[in-house]
């Protein structure tokens, strides 16, 4: 039984009621996939999601040690925290083209292999340039996988977008929090060498490659999701698609696409500032390094239950604006507390910022809801995530510069809190009950 509301398929309202002359359409193609394939895709989604953030949060926990060993200034460290969104923006835009040519499963498989290789090579870096290059390789794999996660869900689980998005969002949050919490203790257990502490995450990345190997030849989501072919639609629906859909309107002409891209970018700004700098904020406030890592883990682990609940709730609402405002308000309160009493209320601020960071699974869910077709989701996902990550690039870098030149965290934290206002505005616009096709 579907867990999605009827409003998820706007075209359904225009279809005639089933009659003997006009029977109901066949089940979506994604639901006709063999059961073993759906099971393998589910396992692959979870393992891939577990590896979409440890490359970043494991570094955040050891940023001070890495910076000292590689002789990085505060500005260079800020550049390092800006590399993830830069790579996501650059390489994420290539995901639709790669998926059309090789199939989304094959591209995700290659992405996980790149993550494994980058994490394996990073500990051997002897300078900043080599460290950045190895990190960029891992982040390149994460970038294409980021974009294709909603696409794979739409293709294989068209009637369970909310629950499957929640599943892999929950796994993503779990991987993020585990890397934040365990990196310092594991490093200490291995003799205090940050290289070993970062290198252990390559093992989990290797496991994420395996489920996708049998799916490499599955070209589902390529030709059938080319522009003009409704995702999971019947042959009759495909042939009846309007000619205008064969040459879809560019995403940059859609107000909804821009609102969603800006929302994605602002929430990513907050997330990467948090992952890159929050442990250092707590450490500068007198919190021990191990505790600072656990506090980051608390922030990240809030996404485990909420990443499953929020997408399901969002798909049952005609307008996701109230969720956007609620999450933004938690962020405002959390940053205010971090500014006024960083050590005294550290656990409370960590929880509130963790709730605020759940704007990410909400954004992914809205990507799946703001287009009627699989092809539309591919294009919207690539546009929203690539433009969004471009928007987020200056944030972590600016925080590093402000921290170095202002001599404290007051100005950077005020900036973080101030960004929550435009995030709530554009998120409310992106949450309106419409699709990008409506604007074409």
pLDDT score of 78? 66
Residue 75: what pLDDT? 66
Total-model pTM: 0.70
Contacts of 37 (CB under 8 A, 6+ apart): 156, 215, 218
pLDDT at 288: 87
- What pLDDT was estimated at residue 349? 94
**How far apart (Å, rounded) are the C-alpha atoms in residues 182 and 265?**
28
Would you put residue 416 in left (φ > 0), alpha (ψ -120 to 50) or beta? alpha
In tens digits, the chain (440 residues) has pLDDT values of 434 333 344 444 444 444 433 433 333 443 456 788 888 999 999 999 999 989 888 887 787 788 888 877 766 776 776 677 778 888 888 888 888 888 888 999 999 999 999 999 999 888 888 888 898 899 999 989 988 888 888 888 888 877 888 888 888 888 887 887 788 889 999 988 899 999 999 999 999 999 999 988 776 544 343 333 333 333 333 333 444 344 567 788 889 999 999 999 999 899 878 877 888 899 889 888 778 878 887 887 887 788 878 988 998 898 999 999 999 999 999 999 999 999 889 999 999 999 998 998 899 889 888 888 777 887 888 899 889 988 988 887 788 888 888 888 999 999 999 999 999 999 999 999 988 888 85
**pLDDT recorded at residue 247:** 56
CA distances from 149 to 71, 180, 381, 394 (A): 37, 23, 9, 25
**What pLDDT is stored for residue 74 in this prediction?**
66
Which pLDDT score, from 0 to 100, does residue 265 have? 93
């Amino acid at each position: 039984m579907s867990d999605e509301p009827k409003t998820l398929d706007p075209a359904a309202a225009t279809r005639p009621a089933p009659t003997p002359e006009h029977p109901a359409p066949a089940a979506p193609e994604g639901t006709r996939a063999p059961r073993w394939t759906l099971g393998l895709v589910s396992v692959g989604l979870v393992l891939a999601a577990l590896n979409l953030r440890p490359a970043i949060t494991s570094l955040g926990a050891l940023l001070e040690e890495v910076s000292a060993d590689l002789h990085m200034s505060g500005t260079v460290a800020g550049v390092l925290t800006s590399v993830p969104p830069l790579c996501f923006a650059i390489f994420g835009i290539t995901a639709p083209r790669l998926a059309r040519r090789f199939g989304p499963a094959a591209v995700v498989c290659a992405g996980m292999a790149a993550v494994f290789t980058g994490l394996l090579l990073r500990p051997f870096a002897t300078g900043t340039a080599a460290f950045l290059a190895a990190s960029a390789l891992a982040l390149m794999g994460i970038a294409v996988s980021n974009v294709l996660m909603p696409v794979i869900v739409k293709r294989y689980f068209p009637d369970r977008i909310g629950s499957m998005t929640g599943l892999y969002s929950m796994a993503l949050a779990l991987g993020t929090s585990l890397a934040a919490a365990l990196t310092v203790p594991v490093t200490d257990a291995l003799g205090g060498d940050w290289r070993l502490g970062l290198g252990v995450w390559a093992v989990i990345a290797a496991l994420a490659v395996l489920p996708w190997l049998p799916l490499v030849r599955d070209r589902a989501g390529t030709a059938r999701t080319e522009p003009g072919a409704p995702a999971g639609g019947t042959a009759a629906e495909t042939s009846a698609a309007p000619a205008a859909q064969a040459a879809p309107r560019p995403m940059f002409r859609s107000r909804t696409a821009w609102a969603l891209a800006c929302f994605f970018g602002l929430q990513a700004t907050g997330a990467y500032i948090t992952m890159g700098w929050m442990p250092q904020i707590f450490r500068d406030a007198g919190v021990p390094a191990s505790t600072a890592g656990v506090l980051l883990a608390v922030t990240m682990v809030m996404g485990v239950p909420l990443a499953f609940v929020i997408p399901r709730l969002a798909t049952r609402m005609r307008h996701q604006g109230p969720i956007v405002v609620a999450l933004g308000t938690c962020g405002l309160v959390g940053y205010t507390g971090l500014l006024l009493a960083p050590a005294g209320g550290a656990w409370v601020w960590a929880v509130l910022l963790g709730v605020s960071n759940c704007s990410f699974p909400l954004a992914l869910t809205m990507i799946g809801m703001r287009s009627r077709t699989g092809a539309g989701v591919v294009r919207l996902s690539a546009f929203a995530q690539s433009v969004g990550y471009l928007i987020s690039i200056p944030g972590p870098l600016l925080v590093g510069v402000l921290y170095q030149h202002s001599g404290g965290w007051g100005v950077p934290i005020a900036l973080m809190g101030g960004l929550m206002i435009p995030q709530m505005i554009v998120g409310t616009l992106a949450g309106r009950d419409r699709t990008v096709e409506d604007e074409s």
